[in-house]
């Protein structure tokens, strides 16, 4: 690929949201191919870049020594020309309840391919918020999968952040590595089911975290032959909020689901919602759940050799990421629907 030739990406393609910006700019940073994205979030209620998109892009530009233009809230066009991956630390100040895990989707891949260990510190923002993976899904599912392809990181949570005030304090240490190809068509033995249920300290008297966990375990319905471990926590937080993640830890992979509390929603309903979503993924028999699939594709597209795995379903995010990857990297990605899921081959 010609590293001097700028790639233009239509930001309204497919899912048409912030994911195109996150994936395209991460790939631009690691390939060194300049990137222009236009029509950003064109069909959304509030078109253009949001606050957290701008923060992610600016942090990425620092990480890759890049030149960035159009990085302002409401902008529908940006350009990024990467320099070289070399920053050893990033401090990201988030003044809203912006999602830390979505910011990580922009920063993690380039950080893994940097020359040395990268420490990313988030001050503010939300660890657990709507329309994004919660931090425990990131820690226990997605990071688990990344470790299996040679990429290791550690996440330290000093303070949780919930909507609307955010206020989280999170540090992520990323160890540089090279991406290995991955073949996973069988989950292997189920080692355990892990239920991580937590809530802000202010909700402790109402036993919100315990009630979520109890409802989830009941709805899951696993018998005595399956190890089910529940971890219940309360956190200092600026806003009242609750979160629950259900993880299936298998010999060859991990899958998961999550749910969040909100005003007027009973803790039991939150726990049951996470459990039912998990059962749907569990019953598919797939090695990756739908949420991990779109996230892992950019990584595996960089690995030498063929990767093959099955997923529970092809989401709009996954289909869009396949298209974005094809703009930067000359890899073939084939989809083969079989039974309850779809096999994905990267060659």
Query: Average pLDDT, stretch 314-319?
Result: 96
With a cut of 90, say whether residue 96 has pLDDT above it: yes
Pair (327, 196) in one structural domain: no
216, two tokens: 């989830």
Looking at the fold, whether 173 and 211 belong to one and the same domain comes out as no
pLDDT tens string 30-64: 999 999 999 999 989 999 999 999 999 999 999 99
298 with 168, same domain: the answer is yes
With cut-offs at 50, 70 and 90, classify the pLDDT of residue 211. very high
148 CB neighbour count, 10 Å cutoff = 15
pLDDT tens per residue across span 216-275: 999 999 998 999 999 999 999 999 999 999 999 999 999 999 999 999 999 999 999 999
With cut-offs at 50, 70 and 90, classify the pLDDT of residue 7: very high
Catalytic residue among 53, 138, 291, 317: 317
Number of domains in the chain: 2
Q: Are residues 65 and 140 in the same domain?
A: yes
Give the domain CATH number at 101.
3.65.10.20
Q: Based on the domain organization, do 176 and 202 belong to the same domain?
A: no
CATH code (residue 197): 3.30.360.20
| Residue 203 and residue 161 share a domain | no
Rg value, the chain, Cα: 20
Question: Would you say residue 114 lies in a domain?
Answer: yes
Cis upstream peptide for 319 (omega within 30°)? no
The mean pLDDT of the chain is 96
| pLDDT attached to residue 340 | 79
For 209-226, the DSSP string reads HHHHHHHHHHHH---TTS
Give the integer Cα–Cα distance in Å for 106 and 72.
17
Give 3's pLDDT tier (boundaries 50, 70, 90): low
Structural domain contains residue 1: no
CA distances from 133 to 44, 165, 210, 239 (A): 20, 18, 21, 18
Residue 213 and residue 258 in one domain = yes
Domain-located, residue 2: no
Question: Which domain, by its residues, includes 241?
Answer: 188-284
Q: How confident is the model at residue 84 (pLDDT cuts 50, 70, 90)?
A: confident
Catalytic site includes residue 123? no
Q: Which residues contact 29 (CB under 8 A, 6 or more apart)?
A: 60, 63, 64, 66, 80, 82, 85, 110
Do 321 and 254 lie in a common domain? no
Helix or strand holding residue 277 (H, E): helix 267-284
The answer to whether residues 202 and 231 belong to one domain is yes
pLDDT on residue 4: 64
**Is residue 176 included in any domain, yes or no?**
yes
Residue 234 lies in a domain: yes
Answer whether residue 2 shows pLDDT above 50. Answer: no
């Amino acid at each position: 690929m010609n590293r001097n030739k700028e790639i233009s990406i239509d930001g309204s393609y497919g899912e048409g949201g912030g994911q195109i910006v996150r994936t395209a700019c991460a790939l631009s940073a690691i390939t060194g191919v300049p990137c222009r994205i236009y029509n950003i979030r064109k069909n959304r209620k509030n078109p253009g870049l949001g606050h957290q998109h701008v923060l992610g892009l600016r942090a990425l530009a620092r990480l890759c020594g890049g030149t960035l233009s159009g990085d302002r809230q409401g902008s529908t066009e940006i350009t990024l020309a990467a320099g070289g991956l070399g920053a050893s630390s990033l401090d990201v100040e988030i003044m809203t309840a912006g999602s830390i895990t979505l910011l990580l989707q922009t920063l993690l891949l380039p950080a893994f391919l940097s020359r040395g260990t990268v420490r990313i510190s988030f001050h503010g923002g939300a660890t657990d918020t709507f329309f994004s993976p919660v931090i425990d899904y990131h820690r226990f599912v997605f990071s688990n999968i990344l470790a299996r392809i040679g990429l290791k990181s550690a996440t330290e949570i000093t303070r949780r952040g919930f909507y609307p005030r955010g206020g989280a304090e999170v540090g992520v240490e990323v160890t540089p590595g090279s991406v290995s190809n991955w073949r996973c068509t069988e989950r292997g033995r189920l080692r355990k089911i892990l239920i991580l249920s937590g809530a802000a300290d202010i909700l402790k008297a109402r036993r919100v975290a315990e009630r979520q966990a109890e409802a989830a375990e009941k709805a899951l319905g696993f018998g005595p032959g399956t190890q089910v471990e529940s971890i219940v926590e309360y956190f200092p937080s600026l806003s009242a909020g609750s979160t629950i993640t259900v993880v299936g830890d298998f010999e060859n992979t991990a899958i998961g689901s999550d749910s969040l509390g909100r005003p007027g929603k009973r803790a039991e309903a939150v726990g049951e919602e996470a459990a039912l979503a998990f059962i749907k993924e569990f019953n598919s028999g797939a090695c990756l759940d739908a949420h991990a699939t779109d996230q892992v594709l950019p990584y595996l597209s960089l690995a030498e050799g063929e990767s093959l795995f099955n997923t529970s379903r092809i989401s709009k995010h996954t289909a869009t990421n396949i298209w974005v990857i094809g703009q930067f990297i000359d890899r073939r990605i084939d989809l083969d629907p079989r039974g309850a899921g779809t096999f994905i081959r990267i060659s």
